């Protein structure tokens, strides 16, 4: 084997190194700092795009990933899902880290996180560009921002549970500092604290669950049946021959889960309880807090509003996806039985998210709060897609993660550009801005149309499969509460969620007409003028993928499908 | 690879041509620069722009955009013609024998992928004749109509997108692609109705149109989702031409409401029909359509005739076997969707026609007539008159596009007249000194076509004019028919084409397309009723006959008030399109002539073979339209051809001629004088009542039986009570309830959830105070903190993991 460039490691460590270098720069050399940050972000975007398109090629070529997955399903076998998951990993790098604890530095991309890697690259560039004119402690700002980006990348590409948590926490601290240090003065300390607490508490609970999971898997592999599975996995190349039984490696945990390690009855001495049914809600919701799941969503609008524009963009655009992604990766993939037992009620929370977020967004006067609550609403759709537990719905949710990420970053970018020039976010006092800022106006309309699911934009190809998947799952999902059985209710949820889309249309149009259409008051807003070239780049960078993915979903949908196939296989759905 | 010689690939390119034109204009040729609104480069459609910089399209950009837009639509038209002739030369073009089709994967999800594809069956072939032709006429017209709008390039981009979306919908071979076209058209209607977005009324109307149709669209989307979950496909061929699937859908009880005896097909059908009720502006979702007049007139023609509203009916026609599944309307067995269509359609037809009677705005009359005519089609579909409804869709598109563009031409002429009047006053009364104050005016002294657009720039002067001429009309409304009269002498081409369109709409017997298509619907209803005595059929028949009568009446009223009699205002007497030979005059009248031709001859393709005399001339081998289109259905689903029956034909004669005669009697023979109120209002006063009673006994009877109740009903019951009271009231109520729920949630959010959430932060407030103290701005300290935190976590982890492992 020739030397292969460790792309993912580069993606994670370049921003960390750049952050350290920036910290040692002279704070007065602002342009040098900006230039370094921007070139770092551009390199990241380039590498991310390389990863994304290489993976896309793998999926789409004849005999590519989708076909080999189909073959696996047809051939059958004991560990099909794990095999499928392992086969889907590309750019894999694995180094031992803490051998005795089974912790390794293991990173790779699959169909689910490759789009997220691309999205992170896009938002990183956009975030640096929109922070171009920050004067206050720009050196620290850029350094923390790059550190945050590194953490986000790390979570997405980690194939080791410990590594995942490590980067998860690495992302939260810079976030706190960025909001508390550079945010909106009125709210920043409150919001930063609220956000950090919500997310930390959620992740700590999930972390405890993860440790318990590793221990349970270890004791399973030490039983006779487990040892046989372990040997078989080693034989088929799923696990390396030197793999320890105590390991945080997600492939190994997937093997354990597929072999039924988390499925033994009598957990905690309770007859009907298994490891999966006990820990699933804690781990899933622990992570889903970051995806803004109801009723733990309230950190998010405040956090978005308080944060400086770049942080709002990366926060709503990428960080919330971190929660949804980790909830899927550790929750659904590793505890499918738990998912089948609990998602049928968790879906009610996601429905509340969708409807409630839309209603509140409809009644907000603050431009940024509208977008903040719309994020709550749209992230509800992602969780709802997970809850469909079939390929269509989950593919839709994966697409929605990308679509919402680009769209909401675009929204926050637009809000930031308007706010920078008007110095107010009070919607009724704005108006006619499209005349002065046509680029921003059109970008906002494109984002708005994507958010209301207009065909031809990415929102439609994300929301439509989610609804399809939910409806298709309707027959197979039942919920038992005591003696009362609820069945076939997923279709009703689709109806309610779809009507929330109408409310989305209403608030998007309302905001658009009040901010961008109508009369422009030139005396009140003398500073409002057209945007700078950096801003245009941001709008193009985030707006064009919305259109491209919407018009040509085959650029992304097959890849996401290849990513969710193993998860669905774990759920027994293939 | 795409093989361009293969006709299977040609339909792919038809929608692509205008879409490509859209992309080129939007990205490349739409270039503008900012000039002050007072500059005379700026056409000045709206005084609202005053005092600000406005973008003006560079002349090269304007010309190039027009060229690109026209090329796109012309290419689409030519390719459509090729497909059309190929189609009609293929005997028995249909699913069972020949079909042009191809498709490819678009959105891969799960085992099956959503494919996008094109399909050409007889329905598509006929639509491909009508849509590109009408759209092309609208494009040509827009060259003149929008000639001095500062955003003409953008306008051409948007109508190209509109046309592309409509053509996509027409050639689509599955419901998903149809829905894509459907939604993009909704978007275009939003952008085009609100094209003059500085006007509050314009963007309000745009939002109203978009949200109203969107509610319906989302419900339609649910229908699509349900259908997909039942069948696993959205392809028309797999669902509609497959008995097993249809029987399965009709045999499965629906979700939730299945216990009430509703089948899955029924519920899906209702969902899809609600989509059409929104898109085709049927009661009770019709409210957006009249407001949509805020857009430029070519857009009205696009929405009302060639594209948007027709798309709704087309979608139903396309999906028809699904609605019919489990029932058989020709033997009086109705399914829920069919019943819904019949009732909603018949009611809407009459309801909208009654409203049209009372309108004075030349475009509003046409708007309500569109709603009414779509009701005809809807009702026809409900009673199984599938082909008749499609026939009416085609003929209606021709004459309604004609009527809208002709009305735009009339409005344009009136604006010209108004402007002309200002000029004369300028010269006569102000003399030389007036020019000092009105620089911008000077530039327009030459009497070229330009002037027609400049009336707003002279809006500063109407005080002069009002004092002298018309104290009664402080704000001149060029769309008000009461200000017109006698225009046939000013704009003869427009007037005659308008009249042709009007009598076609009214269903003038034997000559016009409207007669043949409307007659076919009535004949179908009558035939099935006489065979099976189905109550629904007789209901539909009665409602439609009444609606047809009202249609003829309001058309006669409109034609009379606009073109006949004397000029009622000074403006009307100066109305014109700026001379016989200029760009505006030619581009705005040529399409009218083309469409007028089709408003007459399009009817002759659908003459019943057993119709006396005409049958043997135009349909010696059977009704050509019927025989062509019926192959879009499977043989056993094809509707029976009703035999000729004198009664429905006599009814058609009676209502069309009676309505026209009556309208002419009231408005044409005794034309309105300037300032004279509408004669129908006079009727309500005793003196006029007596006059009528003495002179025309029969008229009086009609008034008593039809007009007065209809007028009273439409004014007091329909407009005031149902339209404004119940429907708007309900919408306001819903809005208020939503607002209230939003507020409630907001409060809940604040107290309940934040309350709990805040408890924790308050508990840690001390931590916050401490933290603030260490926020010294020293980055090294922050970094240290982060590192310490991470190390601490790692340590805790190592210790705890080790502990667990040992235990």
CA distance A122 to chain B (A): 22
Which residues of chain A does B185 touch, with a Cβ-Cβ cutoff of 8 Å?
none
Taking CA atoms, A182 is separated from A136, A192, A300, B315, in Å, by 8, 11, 17, 54
Backbone angles phi, psi at B564, to 5 degrees: -95, 175
Backbone angles phi, psi at B35, to 5 degrees: -135, 160
Q: B273 CB contacts (<8 Å, ≥6 apart)?
A: B316, B323, B337, B340, B341, B344
Alpha helices in A259-308 (DSSP H): 275-288, 299-306
pLDDT digits (tens, 9 = 90+) for B400-447: 888 988 888 888 888 877 777 776 665 554 444 433 333 333 333 333
| Binary contact (B229, A467; C-beta < 8 A) | no
* B234 touches B174 (CB < 8 A): yes
- Contacts with B, A 80-109, CB within 8 Å: 98, 101
Backbone angles phi, psi at A154, to 5 degrees: -60, -45
Number of alpha carbons in the 13 Å side-chain half-sphere of residue B618: 21
Taking CA atoms, B743 is separated from A511, B550, B710, B746, in Å, by 17, 46, 43, 5
| Binary contact (A454, B183; C-beta < 8 A) | yes
| Binary contact (B742, A360; C-beta < 8 A) | yes
Nearest to A502 by CA among A408, A386, A377: A377
**β pairing state of B100-108 and B53-57:** unpaired
> Into how many domains does chain B fold?
2
- Grouping H, G, I as helix, E, B as strand and the rest as coil, residue A481 is strand
| Binary contact (A215, B804; C-beta < 8 A) | yes
Which residues of chain A does B800 touch, with a Cβ-Cβ cutoff of 8 Å?
211
What is the percent of chain B where pLDDT is above 70?
Answer: 67
The whole-number pLDDT of residue B33 equals 64
The whole-number pLDDT of residue B427 equals 54
What is the percent of chain B where pLDDT is above 90?
Answer: 0
Taking CA atoms, A243 is separated from A100, A246, A326, A388, B569, in Å, by 11, 9, 24, 34, 96
| Binary contact (B749, A474; C-beta < 8 A) | no
CA distance B319 to chain A (A): 20
Give the largest CA-CA distance in chain A. 80
Substitution target in A200, A505, A563 with the highest count of B β-carbons within 10 Å is A505
pLDDT in tens, chain A (574 residues): 345 788 888 999 999 999 988 888 888 888 898 999 999 999 999 999 999 999 988 887 767 788 888 888 888 777 888 888 888 888 888 888 887 888 888 999 998 999 999 999 999 999 999 988 888 888 888 999 999 999 999 999 999 999 999 898 888 888 888 888 888 877 787 778 778 877 887 888 888 889 889 988 888 888 888 888 888 888 888 888 888 888 899 999 999 888 888 888 877 777 778 888 888 988 998 898 888 887 777 788 888 888 888 889 998 889 999 999 999 999 899 999 888 888 888 898 898 888 877 877 777 778 888 898 889 889 999 999 999 988 888 999 999 999 999 999 999 999 988 888 888 888 888 877 887 788 888 899 999 999 988 888 898 889 988 998 888 888 888 887 777 777 778 888 888 888 788 778 878 888 888 888 877 777 777 666 677 788 888 999 999 999 999 888 888 888 898 899 899 988 887 6
pLDDT above 60 for B806: no
- Residue A169 near chain B (CB below 8 Å): yes
Choose among A143, A211, A356: nearest Cβ to B800.
A211
The whole-number pLDDT of residue B156 equals 86
| Binary contact (A554, B106; C-beta < 8 A) | yes
| Binary contact (A363, B742; C-beta < 8 A) | yes
Alpha helices in A103-137 (DSSP H): 113-130
Note whether residue B91 is domain-resident.
yes
Which residues of chain B does A374 touch, with a Cβ-Cβ cutoff of 8 Å?
none
- Residue A173 near chain B (CB below 8 Å): yes
Backbone angles phi, psi at A136, to 5 degrees: -75, 110
Which residues of chain A does B52 touch, with a Cβ-Cβ cutoff of 8 Å?
435, 520, 522
pLDDT digits (tens, 9 = 90+) for B760-792: 556 555 555 555 554 444 445 555 556 566 666
- Residue A142 near chain B (CB below 8 Å): no
Cα–Cα–Cα angle for A262, A266, A271, rounded to 5 degrees: 135
| Residue pointed to by tokens 């014109």 | B576
Cα–Cα–Cα angle for B559, B580, B155, rounded to 5 degrees: 75
Choose among A432, A502, A553: nearest Cβ to B214.
A502
Taking CA atoms, A333 is separated from A287, A310, A329, A336, in Å, by 14, 32, 5, 6
A308: how many CB neighbours lie within 10 A of its CB? 23
Mean pLDDT of B111-135: 81
Choose among A177, A505, A557: nearest Cβ to B107.
A557
Structure tokens at A31: 């342009």
**Cα gap B190→B188, rounded to integer Å:** 5
Substitution target in B110, B226, B757 with the highest count of A β-carbons within 10 Å is B110
| Binary contact (A137, B777; C-beta < 8 A) | yes
Alpha helices in B474-534 (DSSP H): 492-506, 513-532
**Cα gap A104→A94, rounded to integer Å:** 7
Taking CA atoms, B771 is separated from A194, A306, B768, B792, in Å, by 14, 18, 5, 18
Substitution target in A362, A462, A509, A563 with the highest count of B β-carbons within 10 Å is A509
Taking CA atoms, A400 is separated from B222, B266, B745, in Å, by 19, 31, 26
The whole-number pLDDT of residue A403 equals 94
Element (H, E) at A479: strand A478-481
Which residues of chain A does B761 touch, with a Cβ-Cβ cutoff of 8 Å?
190, 193-194, 197
Note whether residue B659 is domain-resident.
no
pTM (2 d.p.): 0.80
Closest CA in chain A for residue B105:
A554
Which residues of chain A does B787 touch, with a Cβ-Cβ cutoff of 8 Å?
none
Domain end position, chosen among B173, B195, B230: B173
Choose among B107, B742, B757: nearest Cβ to A194.
B757
Choose among B203, B761, B782: nearest Cβ to A194.
B761
| Residue pointed to by tokens 């003929």 | B395
Secondary structure in 3-state letters for A304-372: HHHCCHHHHHHHHHHHHHHHHHHHHHHHHCCCHHHHHHHHHHHHHHHHHHHHHHHHHHHCCCEHHHHHH
Q: Which domain holds residue B800?
A: 764-806
Taking CA atoms, A344 is separated from A467, A491, B283, in Å, by 15, 12, 39
End-to-end CA distance of chain B: 66
| Binary contact (A360, B746; C-beta < 8 A) | yes
CA distance B494 to chain A (A): 35
DSSP B640: P
Mean pLDDT of B164-169: 90
Domain positions in chain A are 7-570
Domain end position, chosen among B119, B148, B173: B173
End-to-end CA distance of chain A: 35
**Cα gap B205→B364, rounded to integer Å:** 14
CA distance B768 to chain A (A): 8
The verdict on ipTM greater than 0.85 is no
- Residue A522 near chain B (CB below 8 Å): yes
Domain end position, chosen among B121, B144, B173: B173
- Residue A23 near chain B (CB below 8 Å): yes
- Contacts with B, A 448-487, CB within 8 Å: 449, 452, 454-456, 460-461, 464-465, 467-469, 471-472, 474
Substitution target in B107, B777, B789 with the highest count of A β-carbons within 10 Å is B107
- Grouping H, G, I as helix, E, B as strand and the rest as coil, residue A90 is strand
Which residues of chain A does B805 touch, with a Cβ-Cβ cutoff of 8 Å?
101, 215, 218, 246
**Least trusted range by pLDDT, from A73-77, A450-454, B200-204, B716-720:** B716-720
* A464 touches A497 (CB < 8 A): no
Q: B245-248 — which CB contacts under 8 Å span 24+ positions? A: B246/B321, B246/B322, B246/B325, B247/B325
Structure tokens at B150: 């500062």
Helix axes A458-473, A438-451, angle to 10 degrees: 10
Structure tokens at B508: 């003038």
Structure tokens at A233: 């996995």
pLDDT digits (tens, 9 = 90+) for B256-315: 676 677 788 888 888 899 888 888 888 777 777 877 888 888 888 888 777 888 888 999
Nearest to A490 by CA among B260, B224, B226, B231: B226
What are the residues facing A73 on neighbouring strands?
none
Closest CA in chain B for residue A472:
B229
The whole-number pLDDT of residue A47 equals 93
Q: B265 CB contacts (<8 Å, ≥6 apart)?
A: B246, B249, B250, B252, B322, B323, B325, B326, B335, B337
pLDDT digits (tens, 9 = 90+) for B55-95: 666 777 778 888 888 888 898 898 888 888 877 777 656 55
For chain A, what is the total number of helices (H) and then of strands (E)? 23, 4
Nearest to A144 by CA among A124, A160, A158, A164: A124
């Amino acid at each position: 084997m020739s030397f292969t460039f460790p792309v993912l490691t580069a993606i994670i460590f370049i921003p960390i190194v750049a952050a350290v270098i920036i910290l040692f720069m002279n704070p007065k050399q602002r342009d040098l700092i900006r230039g370094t940050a921007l070139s770092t972000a551009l390199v990241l975007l380039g590498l991310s795009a390389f990863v994304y398109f290489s993976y896309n090629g793998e999926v789409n070529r004849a005999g590519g990933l989708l076909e080999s997955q189909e073959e696996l399903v047809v051939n059958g076998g004991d560990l099909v899902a794990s095999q499928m998951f392992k086969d889907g990993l590309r750019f894999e790098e694995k180094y031992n880290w803490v051998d005795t604890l089974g912790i390794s530095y293991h990173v790779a991309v699959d169909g689910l996180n490759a789009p997220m890697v691309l999205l992170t690259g896009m938002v990183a560039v956009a975030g640096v560009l929109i922070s171009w004119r920050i004067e206050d402690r720009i050196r620290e700002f850029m350094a923390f921002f790059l550190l945050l980006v590194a953490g986000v990348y790390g979570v997405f590409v980690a194939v080791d549970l410990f590594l995942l948590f490590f980067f998860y926490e690495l992302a939260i601290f810079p976030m706190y500092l960025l909001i508390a240090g550079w945010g909106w003065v009125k709210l920043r300390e409150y919001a930063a604290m609220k956000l950090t607490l919500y997310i930390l508490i959620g992740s700590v609970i999930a972390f405890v669950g993860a440790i318990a999971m590793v221990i349970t898997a270890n004791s399973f592999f030490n039983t006779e049946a487990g040892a046989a599975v372990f040997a078989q996995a080693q034989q088929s190349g799923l696990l390396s021959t030197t793999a320890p039984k105590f390991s945080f490696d997600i492939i190994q945990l997937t093997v354990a889960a597929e072999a039924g390690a988390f499925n033994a009855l009598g957990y905690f001495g309770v007859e009907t309880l298994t490891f999966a049914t006990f820990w699933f809600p804690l781990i899933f919701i622990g992570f889903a807090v970051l995806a803004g799941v109801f009723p733990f969503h309230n950190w998010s609008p405040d956090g978005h509003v308080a944060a400086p524009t770049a942080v709002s963009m990366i926060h709503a655009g990428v960080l919330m996806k971190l929660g949804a992604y980790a909830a899927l990766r550790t929750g659904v993939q590793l505890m499918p039985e738990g998912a089948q037992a609990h998602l049928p009620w968790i879906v009610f929370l996601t429905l509340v998210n969708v409807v409630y977020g839309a209603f509140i967004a409809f009644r907000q006067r603050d431009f940024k709060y509208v977008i903040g609550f719309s994020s709550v609403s749209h992230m509800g759709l992602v969780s709802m897609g997970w809850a469909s537990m079939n390929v269509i719905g989950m593919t839709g949710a994966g697409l929605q993660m990308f679509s919402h990420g680009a769209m909401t970053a675009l929204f926050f970018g637009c809000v930031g550009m308007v706010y920078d020039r008007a110095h107010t976010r009070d919607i009724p006092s704005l108006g006619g801005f499209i005349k002065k800022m046509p680029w921003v106006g059109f970008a906002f309309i494109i984002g708005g149309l994507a958010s209301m699911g207009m065909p031809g934009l990415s929102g439609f190809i994300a929301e439509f499969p989610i609804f399809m998947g939910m409806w298709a799952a309707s027959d197979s999902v039942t919920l038992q509460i005591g003696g009362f059985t609820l069945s076939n209710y997923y279709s009703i949820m689709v109806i309610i969620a779809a009507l929330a889309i109408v409310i989305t249309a209403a608030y998007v149009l309302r905001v658009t007409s009040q901010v961008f259409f109508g009369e422009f008051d030139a005396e009140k807003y003398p500073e409002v003028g057209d945007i700078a070239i950096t801003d245009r780049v941001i709008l193009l960078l985030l707006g064009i993928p919305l259109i491209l993915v919407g018009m040509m979903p085959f650029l992304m949908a097959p890849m996401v499908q290849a990513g969710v196939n193993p998860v669905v296989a774990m759920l027994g759905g293939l | 690879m795409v093989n361009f010689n293969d006709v299977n690939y040609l339909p792919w390119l038809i929608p692509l041509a205008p879409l490509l034109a859209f992309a080129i204009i939007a990205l490349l040729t739409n270039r503008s620069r900012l000039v002050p609104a007072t500059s005379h480069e700026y056409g000045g459609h709206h005084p609202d722009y005053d005092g600000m910089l406005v973008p003006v399209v560079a002349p090269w950009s304007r010309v190039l955009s027009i060229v690109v837009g026209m090329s796109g639509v012309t290419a689409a038209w030519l390719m459509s013609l090729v497909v059309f002739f190929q189609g009609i030369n293929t005997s028995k073009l249909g699913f069972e024998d020949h079909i042009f089709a191809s498709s490819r994967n678009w959105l891969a999800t799960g085992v099956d992928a959503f494919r996008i594809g094109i399909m050409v069956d007889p329905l598509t072939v006929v639509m491909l004749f009508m849509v590109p032709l009408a759209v092309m006429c609208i494009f040509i017209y827009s060259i003149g109509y929008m000639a001095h709008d500062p955003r003409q390039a953008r306008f051409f981009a948007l109508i190209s997108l509109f046309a592309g979306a409509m053509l996509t919908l027409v050639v689509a071979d599955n419901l998903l692609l149809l829905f894509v076209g459907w939604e993009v058209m909704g978007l275009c209607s939003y952008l085009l109705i609100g094209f003059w977005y500085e006007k509050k009324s314009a963007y309000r109307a745009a939002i109203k149109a978009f949200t109203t149709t969107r509610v319906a669209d989302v419900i339609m989307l649910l229908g699509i989702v349900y259908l997909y979950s039942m069948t696993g496909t959205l392809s028309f061929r797999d669902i509609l031409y497959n008995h097993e699937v249809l029987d399965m859908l009709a045999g499965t009880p629906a979700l939730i409401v299945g216990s009430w005896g509703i089948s899955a097909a029924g519920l899906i059908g209702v969902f899809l029909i609600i989509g059409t009720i929104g898109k085709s502006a049927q009661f009770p979702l019709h409210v957006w359509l009249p407001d949509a007049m805020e857009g430029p007139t070519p857009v009205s023609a696009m929405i009302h005739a060639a594209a948007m509203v027709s798309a709704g009916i087309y979608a139903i026609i396309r999906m028809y076997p699904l609605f019919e599944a489990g029932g058989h309307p020709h033997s009086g067995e109705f399914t829920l969707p069919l019943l819904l269509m019949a009732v909603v359609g018949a009611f809407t037809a009459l309801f909208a026609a009654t409203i049209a009677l009372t309108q004075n705005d030349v475009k509003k009359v046409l708007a309500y007539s569109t709603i009414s005519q779509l009701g005809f089609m809807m009702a026809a579909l409900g009673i199984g008159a599938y082909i008749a409804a499609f026939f009416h869709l085609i003929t209606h598109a021709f004459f309604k596009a004609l009527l809208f563009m002709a009305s735009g031409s009339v409005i344009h002429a009136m604006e010209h007249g108004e402007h002309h009047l200002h000029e004369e006053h300028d010269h006569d009364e102000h003399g030389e000194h007036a020019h000092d104050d009105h620089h911008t005016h000077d530039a327009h002294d030459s009497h070229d076509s330009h002037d027609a657009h400049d009336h707003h720039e002279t809006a500063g002067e109407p005080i002069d004019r009002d004092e002298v001429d018309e104290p009664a009309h402080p704000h001149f409304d060029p769309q008000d028919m009461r200000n017109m009269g006698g225009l046939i002498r000013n704009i003869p081409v427009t007037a005659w084409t308008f009249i042709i369109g009007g009598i076609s709409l009214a269903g003038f017997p034997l000559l016009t397309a409207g007669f043949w298509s409307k007659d076919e619907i009535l004949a179908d209803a009558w035939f099935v009723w006489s065979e099976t005595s189905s109550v629904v059929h007789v209901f539909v028949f009665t409602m439609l006959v009444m609606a047809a009568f009202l249609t003829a009446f309001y058309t006669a009223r409109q034609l009379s008030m606009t073109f006949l009699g004397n000029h009622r205002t000074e403006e009307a007497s100066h109305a014109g399109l700026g001379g016989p030979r200029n760009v505006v005059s030619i581009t705005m009248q040529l399409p009218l002539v083309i469409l007028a031709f089709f408003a007459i001859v399009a009817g002759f393709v659908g003459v019943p073979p057993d119709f006396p005399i005409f049958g043997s001339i135009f349909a010696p081998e059977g009704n050509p339209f019927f025989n062509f289109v019926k192959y879009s259905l499977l043989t056993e689903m094809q509707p029976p051809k009703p035999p000729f029956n004198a009664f429905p034909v006599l009814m058609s004669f009676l209502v069309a001629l009676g309505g026209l005669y009556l309208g002419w009697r009231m408005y044409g023979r005794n034309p309105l004088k300037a300032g004279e109120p509408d004669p129908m209002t006079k009727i309500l006063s005793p003196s006029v009542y007596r006059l009528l009673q003495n002179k025309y006994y029969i008229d009086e009877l009609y008034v008593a039986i039809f007009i007065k109740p209809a007028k009273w009903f439409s004014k007091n019951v329909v407009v005031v009570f149902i339209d404004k009271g119940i429907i708007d009231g309900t919408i306001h109520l819903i809005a208020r309830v939503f607002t209230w729920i939003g507020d409630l949630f907001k409060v809940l959010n604040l107290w309940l959830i934040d309350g709990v959430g805040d408890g924790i932060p308050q508990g840690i407030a001390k931590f916050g105070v401490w933290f603030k103290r260490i926020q010294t701005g020293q980055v090294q300290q922050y970094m240290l903190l982060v590192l310490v935190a991470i190390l601490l976590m790692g340590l805790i982890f190592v210790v705890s993991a080790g502990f667990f492992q040992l235990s």
